[in-house]
Structure 1
Amino acid sequence: MTGDNHISGGEQRDVIQAQSIGSVTFGAERAGAPQQRYLQDPDRWPVARNWDALAAGAHRARPGEDGSKLPPYVARDVDAELRERIQEAAEEGGLVLVVGDSTAGKTRAAFEAVRKRLPRYRVLAPPVGATLRPAPEALEGCAHLRCVVWLDDLEQYLGPEGLEPEVLAEFVRLRVPVVATMRLKPYETFSADTDDGTGEQRWASLSSRVLRTAEVVDMDRLWSAGELTRAGACEDVRIADAVAHHGTYGIAEYIAAGPVLLREWRRARRTGSGHARGAALVTAAVDLSRAGLRGPYSRGLLVEVHKRCLADAGGSVLRPESLDEAFAWAARVRLGVTSPLVPVTDGWWSAFDYLVDGTESAVPDWVRETALAHAADDDDHYAIATSAYRAGALHVAEAAVRPLAEDGDPAATFNLALLLNKDGRVEDAEALYRRAHDKGELDATNNLAHLLADTGRTEEAEALYRHAHTHGHLHGTFNLAVFLDENDRPEEAEAVYRHAHTKGHLAATNNLAILLKQSDRPEEAEALFRHAHTHGHLDATFNLAVLLDENDRVDEAEAVYRHAHDRGHPEATHNLVLLLDEFGHTRDAEAIRREAAPDDLPG
């Protein structure tokens, strides 16, 4: 079998990638936030073995028969890995991050791991809103005291005066472990490289620099068979009830009453529910959060926003209750666990985060504009801009980031350039990229080089790529290699690809393998494809399958095509169907045809 008659692709190169930017940053103290002195007073930090899970941020469960607020801990499959990572961080320094959906059990698992492995450590758990930049003597004290930094919902601590790269580097230097949790959606927003396919425009946060250093432990929302077996052996009635009735939900999710509150909120939006105004108040808090405005929210703001939420849902036709009744309904605790609106301080509210994660509808532009009008500081502006950019609400993103750029913030200048470029205002974007580049913003250097290459100014583009590469900007290194590759300078490209590959850049590994394959070095190419495939690079998986297919290693090719097909690679689906047809596995091929999108299939 040869590639001439049916193999699709085989050179799934990664194109020039302009660097991720944009920021959601947290750390500035808000009105009423705990003062910095908490961070300077280790005697107030709890000892891990005496620490309370609710204080750590674990979701409350309904009271047990003995009055306990949390059920016994059921061992999770990730426990061994998580505890080993925390032990390593305690010995060498580093950030251990548990990522998963709301109420997946992240906080409880991390809490139990800290208590198990670091029982005598002091726990520095700064309150949200406090500045996370202890004085140097306090940092030294952290190391001397053997303390662990605990950051539940990490996204609230990232950015200026929070867990900046420099602050994390200090913790690492002093071998102070940092243990954190993060919901999956914020993690994907702040860490993902979201190249749009042209390589020119990507948006991530400055906090991605922190997240890239993290040892990430993923926690599934749904429990495995082993976890369910262990839960079934537990005598606690809450866990037994969850095992018996959780259905399509995770055990922790069921115990935390997330699905119950989500269903009740959705029902309350309907005509005749009797709680339409209460549902609108919850919608206001949920959408403000999704728009990027950090909570808690004042009663006045929720009242202001809910009016239009209610009107958009049907207004008086829904026969809404009074405002006091609405707040009472939204704040009533369900199952002894939590409420749709969670009180933070007197007159200030947040949405239950499960509702935020469980909502997929678009955030209206007017909510984003309202959020921006109530932004408290630069961090809110960055967060609102990031949310708006990812949703395609470019006018809101521009309005949020432009004042910061005009104040001289290099990252904001870069963000504004990115927005203008996406909006077709290329000359203005170029000027802003140059301004940010002149201030040392290497992301801007990288994007400026891409813009220049696109407009035929290749010599200046190459010089800028080399500048970014020389200064350690890994995407700039990769982009330089792609530039050389595309300009028929394969030997130079190979050297630069190898440099990026040794630094862990999987797209460089994939492209290097393609280059070697084209240079008739198939064995080395296969080894590199396998390396990138093993580390989750989907195009490399496809390219490995094509190489195997072209060399008549059919069984191996089929297995790798299936792997890529299962993960949504359309050309892998195309090739898999053709391979199965060619070797007489028509029933299997037909089953894939029925499930696949028409565009994924051979004509």
Structure 2
Amino acid sequence: MRELVTLFGADDLPTIGDVNPYVLGATASVFGNAHDSGRRDPYSSRTRNQVDSQLTIALTGPQMVLVVGPPKVGKTRTLYDAIRPIEQAARVLVPAANHLREVVTHPRIAETADPIVVWLDDLHEYLDAADPFTSTMLSWLTARRGRTMVVATLRTKKLEQLRGESELQRDIRLLLEQALTIRLASTGEDPDEHFAAVSAYPAMTWDRHGLGEFLNGGPELTEDQRDLFFRMAIRRNQEDPTWSQRQAAAGHRDAIHRIGIEAAGGVSRLDIRAQSRLKKSGVRAVGSNGPEPCPLRP
């Protein structure tokens, strides 16, 4: 069995409690790595579209759970932190892509009843294998006597490419159709997630797009993206005038100040730095009730 998997303990598969997200595929950073995890790398909740809640529910069901998103947005970390409190004692099975069939039919897997999490990070590598992972193999795994969770991650573009392939094996297409797919976006695309991430990592200088991209050296935040974020923050405060105050009350006051939005006397306003950024995209702060989008004249 040791030769068929990429993770193996002293004499058996490790448990979820034995491993950390970095050995399962999360990219290491200055805050955490395979040898130093859990001290300086807190998990930042994914509340947009209730991703964390969706995962908690999905992991109790029989379907393969597939987390899809752009590179470096935290797919592996999000999945790991969803599973750990549910099945900390479950064994983790990370098959070698070129030994899938041998792993699935091995007596240690097929003839045992202990809980197992089958971890398929970068699912496309298993679908591109000479003997690919298919819905048939999935059914063999879920037919075990013991509880078996099959989880996977996949980049958005890879999923689009796979679905667009006319020659894709029917069994693989069926696997993707039957998977319970949960979409994950950058924390930089949602003000609530962004403020939570800034608060969790106060030592960072937030010049990059989203927590995952920053930690993993992803693409820099462009001026257009900065402007988009500020417009989103303004819109959120227009929909709910107490939004910025609630962010501050939730412990995000420093985060609010650092991205240029300040709660003052019940009125959310933009500081000079934020106004300068917004001006480039034709938005300015006007009126006594707080900022609002407004086209700028040349």
Shorter-chain TM-score above 0.5:
yes
Q: d(CA) in 1 for partners of 2:187 and 2:217?
A: 15
Paired residues of 2:5 and 2:93 also in contact (CA < 8 A): no
Which residue does the alignment assign to 2:16?
A: 48
Which residue does the alignment assign to 1:99?
A: 68
Which residue does the alignment assign to 1:109?
A: 78
1:220 aligns with 2:157: no
SS of corresponding position for 2:85: helix
1:74 aligns with 2:44: yes
Q: Which residue identity does 2:73 align to in structure 1?
A: A
Q: Which residue identity does 1:118 align to in structure 2?
A: E
Distance change (3 Å), C-alpha of 1:54 and 1:137: same
Q: d(CA) in 1 for partners of 2:195 and 2:8?
A: 45
Paired residues of 1:131 and 1:161 also in contact (CA < 8 A): yes
Which residue does the alignment assign to 2:249?
A: none
Paired residues of 2:212 and 2:218 also in contact (CA < 8 A): no
Alpha-carbon distance, 1:205 to partner: 4.8
Distance change (3 Å), C-alpha of 1:40 and 1:140: farther
Which residue does the alignment assign to 2:207?
A: 246
Q: Report the structure number with the largest CA radius of gyration.
A: 1
Higher strand share: 2
Paired residues of 1:95 and 1:214 also in contact (CA < 8 A): yes
Q: d(CA) in 1 for partners of 2:16 and 2:84?
A: 5
1:178 aligns with 2:178: no
SS of corresponding position for 1:79: helix
Return the match for 1:133 from 102, 112, 122.
102
Distance change (3 Å), C-alpha of 1:219 and 1:205: farther
Which residue does the alignment assign to 2:159?
A: 187
Alpha-carbon distance, 1:50 to partner: 2.2
Q: TM-score, normalised by structure 1?
A: 0.32
SS of corresponding position for 1:104: coil
Which residue does the alignment assign to 2:59?
A: 86
Distance change (3 Å), C-alpha of 1:100 and 1:51: same
Gaps of 5+ in 2: 223-298
Which residue does the alignment assign to 1:460?
A: none
Q: Which residue identity does 1:245 align to in structure 2?
A: W
Paired residues of 1:76 and 1:227 also in contact (CA < 8 A): yes
Q: d(CA) in 2 for partners of 1:203 and 1:121?
A: 37
Paired residues of 2:90 and 2:115 also in contact (CA < 8 A): yes
Deviations 1:266-297 (A, max 9, x none): xxxxxxxxxxxxxxxxxxxxxxxxxxxxxxxx
Alpha-carbon distance, 1:56 to partner: 0.7
Distance change (3 Å), C-alpha of 1:42 and 1:171: farther
Paired residues of 1:125 and 1:150 also in contact (CA < 8 A): yes
Deviations 1:446-497 (A, max 9, x none): xxxxxxxxxxxxxxxxxxxxxxxxxxxxxxxxxxxxxxxxxxxxxxxxxxxx
Q: Which residue identity does 1:181 align to in structure 2?
A: T
Deviations 1:76-104 (A, max 9, x none): 1211111211122xxxx321000001101
Which residue does the alignment assign to 1:231?
A: 197
Gaps of 5+ in 1: 1-33, 195-201, 264-603
Distance change (3 Å), C-alpha of 1:168 and 1:40: farther
Paired residues of 1:99 and 1:106 also in contact (CA < 8 A): yes
Deviations 1:136-190 (A, max 9, x none): 5333345x01111001001111255342221101122235210110111111111
Q: TM-score, normalised by structure 2?
A: 0.61
Higher helix share: 1
Q: d(CA) in 1 for partners of 2:154 and 2:122?
A: 5
Q: d(CA) in 2 for partners of 1:40 and 1:240?
A: 36
Q: d(CA) in 2 for partners of 1:258 and 1:72?
A: 19
Deviations 1:363-420 (A, max 9, x none): xxxxxxxxxxxxxxxxxxxxxxxxxxxxxxxxxxxxxxxxxxxxxxxxxxxxxxxxxx
Which residue does the alignment assign to 1:60?
A: 28
Which residue does the alignment assign to 1:302?
A: none
Distance change (3 Å), C-alpha of 1:166 and 1:138: farther
Paired residues of 1:189 and 1:204 also in contact (CA < 8 A): no
Q: CA RMSD in A?
A: 3.2
Which residue does the alignment assign to 1:464?
A: none
Q: d(CA) in 2 for partners of 1:37 and 1:99?
A: 23
Q: d(CA) in 1 for partners of 2:150 and 2:94?
A: 10
Which residue does the alignment assign to 2:278?
A: none
Return the match for 1:259 from 219, 232, 238.
219
Q: Which residue identity does 2:22 align to in structure 1?
A: L
Distance change (3 Å), C-alpha of 1:105 and 1:53: same
Alpha-carbon distance, 1:43 to partner: 4.0
Alpha-carbon distance, 1:255 to partner: 1.3
Which residue does the alignment assign to 1:468?
A: none
